[in-house]
Structure 1
Amino acid sequence: MSDVDPESVGGAHELVLALADDELCIGQNLAWWIAVGPFLEEDLALTSISQDELGHARALYGLLGNDIDALAYGRQPHEYRCAHLTELPCRDWGETLIRHFLYDTAETVRWEALANSTWEALGAVARRAFAEERSHLRHASGLLSRLLRTDTGCSQLLPLFDQFAPMACELFDVPPGCSDEALVASGVMARGLSDQRAEWQATVDDAVAAAGYQPQWPAHDGTPAQASGRAGQRSPHFAALHAEMVEVLSIDPSAVW
Structure 2
Amino acid sequence: MKKLHILALAIAAALASTFAVAQTATPATGVRAAPRIDANGDGVIDRAEAAKAPRLAAKFDQLDVNKDGKLTASERPQRAHGKRGGGRGGDRMQALDSDKDGRISRTEANAGNAGFAARFSEMDANKDGYLDRTDRELRMSRERAAFFTGADANRDGKLSRDEYAVEQGARGAERREQFAQRVEAAGKTPKARRVPTEAEQLQRAGKAFDRMDANKDGTVTRAEFDAAKPMHGGKGTHPRKR
- More relative contact order in 1 or in 2 (CA 8 Å, sep 6+)? 1
Question: Which structure: larger Rg?
Answer: 2
TM-score, normalising length from structure 1?
Answer: 0.25
From the two aligned structures, give the one with the greater helix fraction. Answer: 1
From the two aligned structures, give the one with the greater strand fraction. Answer: 2
